[in-house]
Each structure stands twice: as structure tokens, then as C-alpha cells.
A and B are shown apart, each in its own frame.
Chain A
Amino acid sequence: MAKEAQKEKSMILQKEMVEGLFNQLATAKEDGKKVCYTFIPGNLSELIRTFDMLPVYPEINALQSAMRKKSGGYIKEAEKNAHSEDVCTYVKCDVGMMMKGNIGPTGQKIPEPDVLLLSYTGCFTFLKWFETLKREYPNAKVIMVHTPYQENAEITPEMTQYMVKQLKEEVIPQMEEVSGIKFDEEKLKAHLRLSKEAEDWITKIFDTTKHKPSPIDAYFAGVYYIGPINIGFRGTEQAVEYYKELYSEIQDRIKNGLGPITPEGEMKEEKYRLVVEGPPNWTSFREFWKIFYDMGAVIVASSYTKVGGVYDMGWRHDANRPLESLAEYCMNCYTNMNIPQRIDLLSKCIEDYDADGYVTNSIKSCNSFSAGQLGMMREIEDRLEVPVGFIESDLVDPRYFSYSNIKNRLESYFQMLAQRKSMEKETV
């Protein structure tokens, strides 16, 4: 029987924040609040808050459904309705959930959208997803923001200008129209100042994995840490308070020489330090994590925690350039970076956090992440001579999580790491 997970104060804080949001959503219509569906990568949280709207993130609903073991049924429901077996399972889970009454993770009904804000970043499927939702919610206003891709590993002034024009001339006027609230730049700036503060804290938090043993797992626990900054709390005091508390708890762990907390308590011995590319599997999240912590493997950095914003290279929201800053934020999310940039970023993580290995979790239904991963892996192996591992799973489709295959592959990989470590010891 699985042991009960340890809960720290920051975890309780986060739970309260999320529950609070879903409670607000449950009564949004009675309270006269407007509801804005949007996505994590490139989310314009500060702008949504400026117009007092409540955000809904369909991909978060999907992953929560997976963790509650409901995604399989939702996906089948969508597949009965002409959705292909081979497309993004987030989309199908969301569509299936909608067809089954749109009941969210807290058991409350998620309200219909007033706005579908498509500030999609680094993923074409988002575009198709909202085309699908628009047909289900014909009364919702669709607001589209095209985020240019960093094809040359840079954000040029013309890319920023293109986005700012869209924000000024299309997004803001339409949000004013739906919300009935006039755009208040000072209010936006206040949110942006708080965003920067939260971004500073989260960068410091993910940087603590430089310690040995690492006090946190930057992938399996990291996905919880990025929750508040990604799901609508960026730009709030609550998020800043959460990250301060989390940082302080991590500092205590460092002082006491403790490793990460796992669902089964503290990890006793750090044997391997890894960098992981790709999203986790959500349907068997705990089993997946357990394979790693049972082997003494801790993830010191992951690309997935950068999907809602890359802060570790120094970029921050800037209240002095509010719209430019929102534009740059959108363009600076991980999957909006080109393949060589992604290789450089992951290589830097391997070096900065002194990782022993690099593992790709390739997701069947997420081409935004998966297309190009094999070439990335080879380049990283050649460049850093670091052992690389490769496993395959899916986001929220339980049919594509094969526990024994993944465990076998990872066990072989860890054997390779162990052998390499003992050879290094002998050489020393």
C-alpha cells in the first residue's frame, strides 16, 4: 500500500490557491465574472487579471483528469466523435470532459467561456484546439494572438512590434468589450511587478539543485512548483508568498543536508543527477516518479518546467515596458525556441547542475516537444559525452503508458550510469 504523501506548508498554500480558483469559477456566472479559457505556454495572466477575468486552462484540466484516472474515459468519448487516435490527448481529454458535463478536478462544473484567448506559443495544436472549442461554444469571443517562433534563436524588434500591435489593436479592445472594463495600464504594471518578483523566486528555487544532494526534484516535484506561476497566479501577492515559503522550506532542507521529498517521504541517497527533456506522463505519475526515486535518481533540471516561461536565462516581465514585456514573455517559452536553442539550454543545465545523465521522455501525442528530440539527444551526447536515455509514454492516454517497458529501459540506463560512475572512480 502506498504511503501517505508528506505535506509541507507550501503544498497546503498551493492547494488553497487552486481550490480558491475553482470555487470562484464555480460561481463565476452568478458573481458576474467573465471566464477566459487560455493555455499555459504564452499565457497572458497579468492581462486577464487586469480585466478581472477568471482563467481556465484546458490542458491543466486534462492533466488533472489523468491524475484522477478519468482521462481514459474522456478520450474514448472524444474518439467516438471522430477524434483520431493519433492526435494530442490533452485535446481529446478536454473534449471528452466537456461532453461529460465539464466537471473539473474539484468536482464542480467549469463554466463556459466568455473568451477563448489563444495566445498560443510553440504549439500548433493549440490553434486547432480552439477551433474545435469555438464550434462547441459559439457565443464565446475568440481572441487570437499570433506568437512568432524564435526561428533564428532570437526575438527581433519586429517580432515584438508585431505582437504589441496585436495586443494594442485587437486583444485589449476585445477584452474591454467582453469585460466591460476599461484597460488600466497602471493595474497591469502592478501585476507585472509582482510577476517579476515571483519569477526571481522561482529561478532561485530551481537553482537550488546545484547543491548536493539536491534539495528538490526539478521535474516530478517541479511540475507542482510551476503550478502557481503558470495557472493564473503570476502577477499576484499570493504567488509571491507561495514562492517565498517554498524557498524557505528548501533552504531548511539544504541546511539539514536533505534530499527531495517524494510521495513516500524523503529520498535517502542521491545516486544519479539527471536532466529530463519532455513532459511527464500524468496517468501513472506516481509510478513513473517511483521508478526514479527507487533508483536514487533525482532530476536536477527539466525542460518541461520551462514550458510556461524560461526565466533561468535572466528574462523577466518588466513593468516599464508592459506590452513589450508580455510579447517577449510569449515568445520566450520553451517550445517556442528552435531546436539548436533547446540543445544549448539543456546542455547548459547539464553543465550548471552537474548532471550525470540526460533522459528524454518522448510523448506520443505531443509533436511540439517530440519532433526533433532524437537529433537533440545525439547532439547532447556528442557535445558533452553524457550518457543519454530514451523512453516513450503519453500525456494523458493510459493506453500508452507501459510500466514494464519504461522500467526495463530505465533500469538498463541506470546500470549504465552506475558502471560509468564506478569507472570514473577507478580513474580518479
Chain B
Amino acid sequence: MKELNELIIECKELAFDLNFSRAKEWKKNNPAGVVVGYMPIYFPREILHAAGALPVGIFGGGDRKQIIKGDAYYQSYICHIPRSIIELALDKHTEHFDGYIFPSICDVIRNLSGTFKQQKIGKFVKYMDFPQNFLPEIGGVFYQQEMQHVLEYVKSINGKEVTSDDLNHSIELYNKNRKLIDFIYEIRQEYPWRLGIDDVYHIIRAGTVIPVEEHNEILEQVCAHIQNDIGEPQDKIKVVISGAFCEQPAIGLIRAIEEAGCYVVDDDYMLGSRMILGDIDSNTENPLEAIANSYIKQSQYSSSIYDVHNPKENRLANIVNMRGADGVIFASASFCDPSLLDAPIFQNAFDRMGIRYIAFQFSENINQFKVIKEQVGAFSDSIKLWEDEPVTVE
């Protein structure tokens, strides 16, 4: 078993490798392998794995890629992630990718799929239209058809016919992956000092660019390490981060929040890896139906899913309660429609419920966080110094 520090260093390198070297190496060793990039928030990676493809998360260039061409594609009042994604593609960081998948999140990511088509980038470009109808016999069937299209694209490259056994096996691997990630969050809920949130972030993000089997091995070792009583507790409040599900904050900002006095006990940074709550049935004749039903019935709340029958403010309040958090930090990417349009819904509800929160905006390429750090520090102090009991949500 590797040392925890060694694992973290490995994951740090993988998570922000904008050349996606592990995918390149994987393809070299698997001549029939197909590399498929997917954008945030969520994509059922199980189906790509079953089809002999390597799903690779593309979460933008962050603060590590200078944008030159991307600014010629996107106006200043559009969020940052599409310009860094197109920059990565045009600068050939992803030239070993065969296809690209754009899940339905917002108008910007949807139209980015059209720009990829227009620029003829990759062998296929798929806009994945997730159902907004939540009846298995209507929305679920449509979603299965969408997944089938992805499988057809991959088959047109590698000729592989996917069987139910292939899919069930892949589902099992991703069930295990989610379970291990959940375990990390469970440990952190009680002992957040054992593994910093920036380390958690690196570990989970690394899993989006390597085969799931390898990631599961890393996670198993991390889980073993953090069961030990390591690290020193500090006097910090516990918070949940919400709103950063697509464009990712720079790692310095993720770290700054904890440094400023807040243990992050839950977040939506890499929401896709934790989107499905619980296991997907991996012993079924119809695995696509099982994946579709899991999305319809077992998804985490998300700003891209129509929610009026299952209000997101109640779901986030439940997370706050379950994690024993003292408050919520709403971190929205600048110009992020889904996140910013949700802000009044959350904030009005939390005012009524008595849940404490602060809100700020960030951009993936900004690495000066002094003001945000002060704001977070003040939030932490206001709770630590002047309040005794955490709020109980009814």
C-alpha cells in the first residue's frame, strides 16, 4: 500500500494534467480503445467503460491555461469554462480524443457542442439531452435512447457490440467508485482534519481522467489511511459548498476556504462523480434502464434538473442537517446562469429556515482570493465566536 502523501501527489499530477497524458498512454496500450471527453456536470461513464472507451472529464483549463483563442469565441459576459475548453481543443491538448460529450446543463455548454461540430473537432460530438420528464416510461425511455446513440458512436469507431454483462460489470465498478468516495465524505464529516478538502478534490478529480479500476485502487488505499486517527483537529466551523458544479474554482480557492476557518463537509465541486446516490442495479437484463432509472430516482439535486416536485432548497437543507454543518457557502462561477438563477431560491428559503450562508462568485482563472478569504473568515468567526449551537433544520 502506498503512503497517503504519495497517493495525493499522484492524484495532484493527474487531476490537473491538461495534456491528459494517462488517456494518451491508455490509448497507446489499447489500440482499439476509444477516448471520449465529457463536460460537466454528469455523464453515465458506465456505458463508455462497457463499450471499451475511456471516459475523460474535461473541466476547463482553470488557472493553468492562458486563454487567447477562446476569447475570440466567447463574449466577456459569458462564463469562463467554454473559452478554456475550446482553447484546450484548438491547442491540441485533446487531439487523442475520439469524441466529445456535452451533457445538458445550460445554454452555453449546449451551444459549445455546436461550436465543436462547426469546428469539426473529434470523430463525434454528442449533446446529451438529459430528460426533464421524470417518469421512467417517458423520460426514462428517452434517456435510454440518448445513451444508445452514444454507444452507436463508439461502435462506429471500435466495432464493439455492448452486452448486458459488459454493462453490469461496468456498473459494479462505478458503484464501488461512488461508495468509496462516499466513505471519504463520511469520514470527513466526523474528522475533516484527516484529509484536506483540496486533497479530496485532487483525489476525486484524478478519477475522471484515469480508468475506473485504477481509481478504485487509489480510493481503497486512501480510505484505509483515513480510517486511522491522523491529523490534528482545528477550531473551524463546518460548511457545505453549493453552486460550483460546472466551472471549477482554482485549487487555491478551494484550499483558502478551509484555511479561512471552514471545514468543507460536503460540496458539489465534482458533482458528476457523486451524482447518483446509492447503487445502480448491476444484476439486470436491461442495464440501460437501470442507469436511466437511477438518474430519475436517485440523483443528487442539481441546478440543471427541473425540481419543482422535489425542491432543491429542502434537499440542500437536508444535506446541511445530515452533515451537521454550521452553514452554507454559495460559490457560483461568474455568469453561471443555473447557479446564479438558483441563488434567490436558496437564499430566500434559508432566510426562512434560519440556515446561515454567504455567497460569492469566482472564475476558474482567478487565483487571487484575498477578499473571498476575508469574507469566509468573517463568516466562520461570526459563527464560532457568537453562536453556541448549530442550527437544526426542521
Which of A's residues lie within 8 Å of B, judged by CB?
78, 81-84, 86-88, 91, 118, 122-125, 127-132, 134-135, 142, 144, 146, 148-149, 151, 158, 162, 165-166, 169-170, 338-340, 342-343, 362, 364-365, 367-368, 370-376, 379, 392
Within 8 A of A (CB), among B317-347: 332, 334-335, 337-338, 340-345, 347
Please judge, given known A-B contacts A144-B132, A149-B129, A374-B73, whether A124 and B304 are in contact too, CB under 8 Å. yes
Q: How long is the Cα–Cα vector from A373 to B139 in the complex, in angstroms?
A: 31
B29 lies within 8 A of chain A by Cβ: no
What 3 A-B pairs are tightest by C-beta distance, nearest first? A339-B114, A151-B127, A128-B341
> Are B104 and A149 interface neighbours, CB within 8 A?
yes
Which of B's residues lie within 8 Å of A, judged by CB?
72-75, 77-78, 82, 104-108, 110-115, 117-119, 126-127, 129, 131-133, 135, 137-139, 141-142, 145, 303-304, 306-309, 311, 332, 334-335, 337-338, 340-345, 347-348
> Are B111 and A127 interface neighbours, CB within 8 A?
no
Residues of A within 8 A of B107 (CB): 122-125, 367-368, 371
> Are B114 and A132 interface neighbours, CB within 8 A?
no
Q: Which of B118, B145, B335, B337 has the most CB atoms of chain A within a 10 A radius of its CB?
A: B337
- Minimum CB distance partner of B334 in chain A: A86
Please judge, given known A-B contacts A158-B142, A367-B106, whether A135 and B335 are in contact too, CB under 8 Å. no
Q: How long is the Cα–Cα vector from A223 to B139 in the complex, in angstroms?
A: 35
A-B contact pairs, 6 of them (CB 8 A): A86-B334, A124-B106, A125-B107, A149-B104, A162-B138, A367-B111
> Are B345 and A162 interface neighbours, CB within 8 A?
no
> Are B132 and A367 interface neighbours, CB within 8 A?
no
- Minimum CB distance partner of B127 in chain A: A151
Q: How long is the Cα–Cα vector from A392 to B74 in the complex, in angstroms?
A: 13
> Are A392 and B75 interface neighbours, CB within 8 A?
yes
> Are A144 and B344 interface neighbours, CB within 8 A?
no
- Minimum CB distance partner of A153 in chain B: B117
> Are B118 and A135 interface neighbours, CB within 8 A?
no
- Minimum CB distance partner of B105 in chain A: A124
Our pick among B104, B108, B114, B307 for the contact of A131 (Cβ within 8 Å) is B307
Q: How long is the Cα–Cα vector from A367 to B77 in the complex, in angstroms?
A: 9
Residues of A within 8 A of B108 (CB): 367, 371
Q: How long is the Cα–Cα vector from A146 to B104 in the complex, in angstroms?
A: 12
> Are A166 and B127 interface neighbours, CB within 8 A?
no
> Are B133 and A144 interface neighbours, CB within 8 A?
yes
Q: How long is the Cα–Cα vector from A368 to B338 in the complex, in angstroms?
A: 13
> Are B126 and A340 interface neighbours, CB within 8 A?
no
Q: How long is the Cα–Cα vector from A125 to B104 in the complex, in angstroms?
A: 13
> Are B113 and A130 interface neighbours, CB within 8 A?
no
> Are A131 and B73 interface neighbours, CB within 8 A?
no
Residues of A within 8 A of B344 (CB): 78, 81-83, 132
Q: Which of B112, B126, B138 has the most CB atoms of chain A within a 10 A radius of its CB?
A: B138
Q: How long is the Cα–Cα vector from A125 to B337 in the complex, in angstroms?
A: 7
Q: How long is the Cα–Cα vector from A365 to B75 in the complex, in angstroms?
A: 11
Our pick among A127, A158, A343 for the contact of B306 (Cβ within 8 Å) is A127
- Minimum CB distance partner of B120 in chain A: A340
> Are A88 and B337 interface neighbours, CB within 8 A?
yes
Q: How long is the Cα–Cα vector from A129 to B308 in the complex, in angstroms?
A: 11
Residues of A within 8 A of B142 (CB): 146, 148, 158, 162
Residues of A within 8 A of B82 (CB): 371
> Are B129 and A148 interface neighbours, CB within 8 A?
yes
Residues of A within 8 A of B74 (CB): 371, 374
Residues of B within 8 A of A165 (CB): 137-138
Q: How long is the Cα–Cα vector from A339 to B73 in the complex, in angstroms?
A: 13
Residues of B within 8 A of A82 (CB): 343-344, 347-348
> Are B337 and A142 interface neighbours, CB within 8 A?
no
- Minimum CB distance partner of B330 in chain A: A82
> Are B115 and A375 interface neighbours, CB within 8 A?
yes
Q: Which of B82, B108, B133, B332 has the most CB atoms of chain A within a 10 A radius of its CB?
A: B133
- For the A-B complex with A122-B107, A169-B138 known, give 17 more contacts whose Cβ atoms are closer than 8 Å: A82-B343, A82-B347, A83-B344, A124-B106, A125-B107, A131-B345, A146-B131, A146-B133, A146-B139, A162-B138, A162-B141, A169-B135, A367-B111, A370-B78, A372-B111, A373-B75, A374-B72
Residues of A within 8 A of B104 (CB): 124, 149
Residues of A within 8 A of B112 (CB): 371-372
Please judge, given known A-B contacts A339-B111, A375-B118, whether A170 and B135 are in contact too, CB under 8 Å. yes
Shortest beta-carbon distance, B170 to chain A, in Å? 24
Shortest beta-carbon distance, A131 to chain B, in Å? 6
> Are A149 and B110 interface neighbours, CB within 8 A?
yes
> Are B118 and A343 interface neighbours, CB within 8 A?
yes
> Are A339 and B133 interface neighbours, CB within 8 A?
no
> Are A149 and B343 interface neighbours, CB within 8 A?
no
Q: How long is the Cα–Cα vector from A162 to B133 in the complex, in angstroms?
A: 9
> Are A158 and B145 interface neighbours, CB within 8 A?
yes
Residues of A within 8 A of B345 (CB): 131-132, 135
Q: How long is the Cα–Cα vector from A364 to B132 in the complex, in angstroms?
A: 27
Shortest beta-carbon distance, A73 to chain B, in Å? 18
> Are B126 and A151 interface neighbours, CB within 8 A?
yes
> Are B113 and A338 interface neighbours, CB within 8 A?
yes
Residues of A within 8 A of B118 (CB): 339-340, 343, 375-376, 379
> Are B133 and A86 interface neighbours, CB within 8 A?
no
> Are B138 and A166 interface neighbours, CB within 8 A?
yes
Q: How long is the Cα–Cα vector from A166 to B110 in the complex, in angstroms?
A: 23
Residues of A within 8 A of B341 (CB): 84, 87-88, 91, 125, 128-129, 131-132
Q: How long is the Cα–Cα vector from A86 to B335 in the complex, in angstroms?
A: 6
Our pick among B117, B129, B132 for the contact of A339 (Cβ within 8 Å) is B117
Residues of A within 8 A of B145 (CB): 158, 162
- Minimum CB distance partner of A84 in chain B: B340
Q: How long is the Cα–Cα vector from A91 to B342 in the complex, in angstroms?
A: 12
- Minimum CB distance partner of A128 in chain B: B341
Shortest beta-carbon distance, A274 to chain B, in Å? 20
Q: How long is the Cα–Cα vector from A84 to B82 in the complex, in angstroms?
A: 20
Residues of B within 8 A of A374 (CB): 72-75
Residues of B within 8 A of A91 (CB): 341
- Minimum CB distance partner of B77 in chain A: A364
Please judge, given known A-B contacts A82-B348, A86-B77, A125-B107, whether A166 and B133 are in contact too, CB under 8 Å. yes
Residues of B within 8 A of A146 (CB): 131-133, 139, 142
- Minimum CB distance partner of B341 in chain A: A128
Q: How long is the Cα–Cα vector from A124 to B112 in the complex, in angstroms?
A: 14
Q: Which of B72, B114, B137 has the most CB atoms of chain A within a 10 A radius of its CB?
A: B114
Shortest beta-carbon distance, B123 to chain A, in Å? 14
Q: How long is the Cα–Cα vector from A376 to B340 in the complex, in angstroms?
A: 27
Shortest beta-carbon distance, B389 to chain A, in Å? 26
Residues of A within 8 A of B343 (CB): 82-84
Residues of B within 8 A of A122 (CB): 107
Q: How long is the Cα–Cα vector from A164 to B108 in the complex, in angstroms?
A: 27
- Minimum CB distance partner of B304 in chain A: A124
> Are B114 and A81 interface neighbours, CB within 8 A?
no
Q: Which of B82, B110, B138 has the most CB atoms of chain A within a 10 A radius of its CB?
A: B110
Shortest beta-carbon distance, A212 to chain B, in Å? 32
- Minimum CB distance partner of A366 in chain B: B107
Residues of A within 8 A of B342 (CB): 128, 131
Q: How long is the Cα–Cα vector from A339 to B104 in the complex, in angstroms?
A: 15
